[in-house]
């Protein structure tokens, strides 16, 4: 099962990098393509920070933190005696997302972001596939922890 984590991560990295290549290949910086007017657009931006632009212009710091977190996560996975499907999905998505954005930071000096949503007049920060992988993987991981805690308490 643990090998499936890394297979899922590779698929995630591939999808992330292909979408970023498409965006940078076909759009100019800050160009906007409205998909659903007033709700969703493809907008090419460069992010030198983390989520919501935190730590802007600190690419090296964010890269080091990402690498450290990857090492800790991989060590944790290797030490697990058994791993079920939800953990495979969670860890695979998180690792794929971290590496996808890390590739950008190391090769470009910034992360390519392009999904923009406006919901209830709030203009959400622009994000990418790697960000989605990290968020979805984190949600699945939390669900797995809660499920395991409930199962443990029932014993």
Which residue numbers are catalytic?
113, 131
| Residue with tokens 């669900």, as numbered in its chain | 143
Instruction: Supply φ then ψ for residue 118, to 5 degrees.
Output: -120, 115
121-127: long-range contacts (C-beta < 8 A, 24 or more apart)? 125/51, 125/52, 125/53, 126/43, 126/45, 126/47
- Residues in Cβ contact with 121 at an 8 Å cutoff, skipping those fewer than 6 apart: none
């Amino acid at each position: 099962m643990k090998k499936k984590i890394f297979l899922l991560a590779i698929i995630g990295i591939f999808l992330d990098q292909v979408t970023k290549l498409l965006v940078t290949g076909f759009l100019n910086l800050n160009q906007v393509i409205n998909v659903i007017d007033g709700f969703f657009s493809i907008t090419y931006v460069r992010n030198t920070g983390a989520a919501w632009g935190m730590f802007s212009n600190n690419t090296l710091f964010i890269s080091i933190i990402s690498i450290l977190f990857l090492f800790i996560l991989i060590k944790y996975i290797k030490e697990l005696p058994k791993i079920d499907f939800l953990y495979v999905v969670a860890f695979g998505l998180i690792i794929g997302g971290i590496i996808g954005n890390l590739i950008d930071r190391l090769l470009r000096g910034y992360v390519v972001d392009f999904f923009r949503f406006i919901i209830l007049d709030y203009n959400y920060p622009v994000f990418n596939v790697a960000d989605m992988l990290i968020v979805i993987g984190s949600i699945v991981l939390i669900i797995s922890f809660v499920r395991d805690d409930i199962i443990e308490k029932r014993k």
